[in-house]
Amino acid sequence: MDLGQGPSLTPEQFAALPHDDSGSNLLVSIWILASLATIFLALRVYCKWFRNHTMWWDDYVLIAAWVCRGIPVSYCLGRWDGANTLTC
């Protein structure tokens, strides 16, 4: 037996194994962290605007990162197949 592989199972034996699904916990964590990032970024931009301060390059980098963060998350979550795998 190769040390890099586990014991070979038949499809029936594999189906009988307990399959832990952490997908819902993962989705909750992603949405909480994404929401917190959005809130903090919005507060930062609002405070800059409210105090009549100009936005500097770091503010634009944060906004660009926030936009780029949303693209793969939206794409991957739309392709969740429910079997602990993302097909993105």
- Domain extents for the chain? 22-77
- The pLDDT value given to residue 34: 86
d(CA 7, CA 11): 12
Question: Residue 16 belongs to what H/E stretch?
Answer: helix 11-16
Residue pLDDT tens, the chain, 88 long: 455 566 787 888 877 877 777 777 787 888 898 899 999 999 999 999 888 888 899 999 999 998 887 666 655 655 555 555 555 5
Residue 19 CB partners (closer than 8 Å, separation 6+): 84
Comparing CA positions, the residue from 38, 29, 39 lying closest to residue 69 is 38
User: Exposed, middle or buried: residue 60 (CB in 10 Å: 0-12, 13-18, 19+)?
Assistant: exposed
Q: Which two tokens stand for residue 86?
A: 């993302």
Q: Is the pTM of this model over 0.75?
A: no
